[in-house]
């Protein structure tokens, strides 16, 4: 699961992760970052309550033995391009993107910090994102779904809004709170706009631990993988009309499964993967 031949990893979380009873997928993140020697940088740009979010994660990571957790405040492009941001990332063993409104993370796209994250990921950095912070890790991020965002059944261009992402997991389109919010139509709609990308829908308290070529499923829910590489897609005359879509492959992967991104194939993996 190496990225560029390195041990760098992405922990991509579907949101609402356990932050108390053993800390679940966050425990894996803390361990990957170095445990008691970890230096975690929190990027809370997506949330409107950064102080509250930072305090909550500080409590969790402290309970997991992590002694160094610091916020990297980024409210605009100048912050994302600053020497202070560069220095903070150079010292980090792990970076964590909080949830919130993913559109706020667009200010990081194409910035110096974006380039640095790619470089450091290739050199062993661990990067995690939850909810909004998860979808931003793909080359394209899902920004919303308009009126159909919560449970709409139609697959159409109007069912999803997308924008450029950070490109740390370029072969995927990532959606979150997936089963809980009925987002299969939204992800299908996104995949029809870019069929070469794998659609990855992650349930709450569930994550994928990913490298360049494969990922492992962790947590209590399911990861849904949509593969439209060999599908037939016929877009309708208007954005509101349904899209014609044949031969999409759907894989449902609970904890203990792995997925080969290059070969586009799932398999039963290590039994310990529940957390």
- Known catalytic residues? 131, 177, 204
Cβ-based neighbour number of residue 206 at 10 Å: 28
Cβ atoms of residues 125 and 29 within 8 Å: no
Contacts of 256 (CB under 8 A, 6+ apart): 217, 268, 269, 270, 271, 273, 274
Half-sphere exposure of 23 (CA within 13 A, CB side): 17
Q: Which of 97, 110, 89, 101 is nearest to 12 (CA)?
A: 97
- In terms of Cβ atoms closer than 10 Å to its own Cβ (0-12, 13-18, 19+), residue 171 is middle
Within 65-195, residue ranges assigned H as helices are 77-80, 83-91, 112-121, 132-135, 184-193
């Amino acid at each position: 699961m190496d990225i560029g031949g390195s041990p760098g990893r992405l922990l991509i979380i579907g949101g609402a992760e356990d932050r108390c009873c053993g800390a679940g997928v966050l425990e894996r993140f803390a361990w990957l970052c170095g445990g008691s020697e970890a230096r975690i940088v929190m990027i809370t740009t997506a949330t409107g309550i950064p102080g509250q979010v930072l305090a909550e994660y500080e409590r969790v990571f402290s309970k997991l033995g992590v002694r160094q957790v610091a916020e990297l405040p980024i409210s605009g492009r100048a912050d994302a391009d600053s020497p202070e941001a560069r220095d903070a990332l150079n010292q980090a063993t792990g970076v964590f993107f909080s949830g919130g409104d993913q559109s706020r993370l667009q200010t990081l796209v194409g910035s110096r910090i974006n380039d640095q994250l790619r470089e450091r990921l290739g050199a062993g950095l661990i990067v995690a994102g939850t909810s909004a912070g998860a979808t931003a890790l793909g080359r394209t991020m899902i920004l919303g779904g308009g009126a159909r965002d919560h449970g709409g059944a139609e697959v159409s261009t109007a069912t999803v809004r997308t924008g450029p992402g950070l490109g740390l997991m370029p072969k995927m389109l990532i959606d979150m709170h997936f089963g809980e919010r009925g987002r299969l139509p939204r992800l299908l709609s996104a995949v029809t706009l870019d069929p070469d990308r794998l659609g990855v829908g992650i349930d709450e308290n569930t994550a994928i631990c990913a490298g360049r070529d494969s990922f492992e499923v962790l947590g209590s829910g399911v990861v849904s993988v949509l593969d439209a590489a060999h599908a037939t897609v016929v877009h309708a005359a208007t954005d509101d009309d349904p899209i014609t879509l044949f031969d999409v492959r759907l894989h449902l992967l609970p904890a203990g499964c792995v997925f080969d991104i290059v070969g586009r194939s799932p398999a039963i993996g290590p039994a310990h993967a529940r957390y």
